[in-house]
Amino acid sequence: MTTRNRRRRRVSFTDYFGDLVDDTKEFIDDLLDRDDEEKRFHSERTARHDDRDLDELRETLQEMSRRLDRISRTEQPAGQE
């Protein structure tokens, strides 16, 4: 049986530490990017939600105004306008 001598690549401590730092930096960058995307998504969603709330509020105010006009007309004595 013959065996081959395999040469193992030796990794120095500085290479290992450098790779660890690079991987950690990439991980942190990915987290920050994801956080920015989430903030952007939520701010856009909030803006759309706020617009929808304002539209509903306007419609409600218009309806209340119509009802108040109708009530004020029915409560006025005859001959006064």
> Is residue 66 assigned to a domain?
yes
- Span 3-46, pLDDT tens digits: 555 555 666 888 888 888 999 999 998 888 888 888 887 777 77
Domain span including residue 36: 13-75
| Helix and strand counts by DSSP (H, E) for the chain | 1, 0
> Is residue 81 assigned to a domain?
no
> Is residue 62 assigned to a domain?
yes
Predicted local distance difference test score (pLDDT) of residue 5: 54
> Is residue 5 assigned to a domain?
no
Whether residue 51 is predicted with pLDDT greater than 50 in this model: the reply is yes
Instruction: Please state the domain count of the chain.
Output: 1
Question: Higher pLDDT residue, 48 or 18?
Answer: 18
> Is residue 3 assigned to a domain?
no
> Is residue 80 assigned to a domain?
no
> Is residue 30 assigned to a domain?
yes
> Is residue 26 assigned to a domain?
yes
Predicted local distance difference test score (pLDDT) of residue 10: 65
C-alpha to C-alpha distance for 10 and 8, rounded to whole angstroms: 6
